[in-house]
């Protein structure tokens, strides 16, 4: 089991926020993307963050967006569509969305609308 699986989402979330804000984007845009991917409402997302939910439990509770399979590209040198472990792939989907927001991609493109 990879150590990221037992890491709390909240411990990484603040790095996500810092990354997008450094590039002139907002926490609301980040939350919108996370909610789109997971099917959580903003209240559910923040409840998971407050509870210190691990990535494993976070994605176990998620209702993954059917359009998530259209998230493609490279994160940390790994193609997200080629990741075999389903949990790791979901984490990479999230990483890819954060990267797209930070790069200035329009939200309708990030959310595959």
Residue matched to tokens 């939910």: 53
In the structure, what pLDDT confidence band is assigned to residue 2 with cuts at 50, 70 and 90? confident
Q: Which residues contact 1 (CB under 8 A, 6 or more apart)?
A: none
Q: Which residues contact 10 (CB under 8 A, 6 or more apart)?
A: 48, 49, 50, 52, 53
- Report, as an integer, the average pLDDT of 14-43: 97
Task: Tell me which H or E stretch contains 78.
Answer: strand 78-79
In the structure, what pLDDT confidence band is assigned to residue 76 with cuts at 50, 70 and 90? confident
Residue 1 predicted with pLDDT over 70: no
**How many whole angstroms separate alpha carbon 32 and alpha carbon 104?**
15
- 17 vs 25, 64, 79, CA distance in Å? 9, 21, 23
Residue matched to tokens 């493109």: 109
Q: At what angle do helices 27-38 and 86-102 cross, to 10 degrees?
A: 150
């Amino acid at each position: 089991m990879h150590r990221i699986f037992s890491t709390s989402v909240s411990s990484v979330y603040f790095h996500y926020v810092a990354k997008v804000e450094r590039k002139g984007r907002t926490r609301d845009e980040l939350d919108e993307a996370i909610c789109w991917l997971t099917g959580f409402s903003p209240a559910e997302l923040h409840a998971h963050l407050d509870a210190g939910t691990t990535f494993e439990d976070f994605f176990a509770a998620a209702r993954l967006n059917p359009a998530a399979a259209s998230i493609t590209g490279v994160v940390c040198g790994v193609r997200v569509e080629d990741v075999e472990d389903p949990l790791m792939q979901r984490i990479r989907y999230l990483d890819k969305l954060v990267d797209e927001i930070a790069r200035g991609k329009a939200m309708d493109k990030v959310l595959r609308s």
